[in-house]
Amino acid sequence: MALPIVQTGHPVLRTVAQLLTREQILSVEIQSLIEEMRETMRAAPGVGLAAPQVGQSIQVVVIEDDAGLKTNMSQEALDARERVPVPFHVLVNPVLEAQGDEIIDFFEGCLSVNGYAALTPRHRTVKVTALNEFGEEFTTNASGWYARILQHEVDHLNGLLYIDRMKTTSFTTMSNKVQYWD
Ligand code: ZN
């Protein structure tokens, strides 16, 4: 069942989320939350969702990107964003480290700032170490759009939103973005 997504202004989005132990990750509660977060992300639809966005102040993120299959994004636009499909996966207690100095600006939106977008600078390449849904540690190296998703979701766990990092004068409704800026 898809869960309601909390909107900006809710204090849970401005709270540093709690770390989980391996035992907690394996609990029925967290396993069902992960399942519900997957359904919520797919229903939205979105390419990432952090637990605070469904009102849970814990360090859980789900990510899945079909690379525009549903949005019919052009190949040119996908290439510019270095956007490739990312299969469904779960990150618990993620630790993110920027790799290199390259910063890239693209329009970014958030399910918790519904209906808006803005140019948001992000590191092109990052390295993230996290636990998966089985409590096993893994490391992922990411570039381009996947790196952007990771930075956006890890920000959520630290009480940050893209609007804290955006180029403020680019802030736009989604419909004006499509009409004037795409
Ligand atoms: Zn978001």
* Strand segments (E) across 38-85: 48-50, 60-65
Please indicate, yes or no, if residue 57 is contained in any of the structural domains: yes
> Contact, 151 vs 126, CB < 8 A?
yes
Domain assignment present for residue 34? The answer is yes
Q: Which residues are catalytic?
A: 153
7 CA distance to ligand 1 middle (Å) = 10
Q: For the whole model, what pTM was predicted?
A: 0.97
Residues 2-19 have pLDDT tens digits of: 999 999 999 999 999 999
From 26, 28, 48, select the one nearest 37 (Cα to Cα): 48
Residue type at 171 in one-letter notation: F
Domain range for 29 is 11-100+123-164
Position 105 in a domain: no
- The residues, any chain, with a CB within 8 Å of residue 53's CB and separated by 6 or more, are 5, 6, 13, 111, 112, 156
For residue 108, tell me if it sits in a domain. no
Rounded distance from Cα 85 to ligand 1 centre (Å): 19
Alpha carbons within 13 angstroms on the beta-carbon side of residue 39 total: 10
Residue 175 counted as domain residue: no
CA distance 72 to 67: 9
CB 148 within 8 A of CB 106: yes
Query: Using CA atoms, how far apart are residues 132 and 114, in angstroms rounded to an integer?
Result: 28
Q: What is the pLDDT of residues 75-88, one digit of tens each?
A: 898 999 999 999 99
Within a domain: residue 29? yes
**20-71 pLDDT, tens digit each:** 999 999 999 999 999 999 999 999 999 999 999 999 999 999 999 988 766 6
Is 28 contained in some domain?
A: yes
**Cα–Cα dist 69/95, whole Å:** 29
Provide the number of structural domains found in the chain.
1
Q: Is residue 116 part of a domain?
A: no
CA angle 119, 181, 150 (to 5 degrees): 35
Q: How far is the CA of 58 from the centre of ligand 1 (A)?
A: 15
| Cα 26 to ligand 1 centre (Å) | 25
